[in-house]
Amino acid sequence: MDSMNPTGSLVIEANASVAIGLLPSMLPEFRRTYPGISVRVRITEDIDMIIDHIRQIRTEFAMIMGPLEDYEGCRLVAQRKEVFRFIATRDDPLAGKKNVPLSDVLDESFVPSFASDDKDMKVSYVEGPRLANLGYKIAPMVEFGSCAGVANYLKGGSGRGYLPLYLIEDELRRGELCIIDTEDIGVHEHIQLICSSTRWISPQS
């Protein structure tokens, strides 16, 4: 293989928020740089499955959003911390208000994202543990299995959500969505690029 013009295929597994909200803006540059490499993006919300595929080298890379962890048998290639904020549409009654009580944000308009345990079909909300620690409960009328789903719902013109800002940068800039001025509940998640620990990654790659 010509090291200057590599050919082949690359499989990337990602959860939906990354696959929908981030990879489409990154891959065109990769394709211009490596036109001989085809790319397949698999989307799943089961991070344990993604990590197993990395360990088994069934997938070359994983790009996931979640708590920063040291996954056994995996190498962390790169990571960045993501900022989450409570978000509303521009026509929401809370838009533009100052010091909004969190209880006002978490009414039936609030649309959470959740992770599900496929084995036991248990649902846990991304925001759930922090809200529970603060004494809040949510009883949503609408919910999605990814932050990307919540973002797209809000882009349709209704609802509130708790989202990483990279998913809605354009809408915030255009004023279609806004950050609610309320307390930060302190969810810290990272986008992580991971490969198998048996693979060698060039510092220049």
pLDDT tens per residue, range 162-179: 999 999 999 999 999 999
Per residue in 72-109, pLDDT (tens digit) is: 999 999 999 998 999 999 999 999 999 999 999 999 99
pTM score: 0.81
pLDDT for 118 equals 47
pLDDT for 169 equals 93
CB atoms within 10 A of CB 29: 9
The average pLDDT across 111-118 equals 69
Q: Residue 61: CA atoms inside 13 Å, Cβ hemisphere, count?
A: 18
Average pLDDT, the chain: 86
- pLDDT-based confidence at residue 151 (cuts at 50, 70, 90): very high
| pLDDT over threshold 90, residue 150 | yes
Lowest-pLDDT range, 7-11, 119-123, 128-132, 135-139?
119-123
Region of residue 28 (left: phi > 0; alpha: psi -120 to 50; beta: else): alpha
Q: Cα–Cα distance between 13 and 41 in angstroms, integer? A: 6
Please name which of 56, 68, 72, 58 lies closest in space to residue 13, comparing C-alpha atoms: 58
| pLDDT over threshold 60, residue 15 | yes
pLDDT for 117 equals 47
AA letter at 50: I
Name the 3-class secondary structure at 147: helix
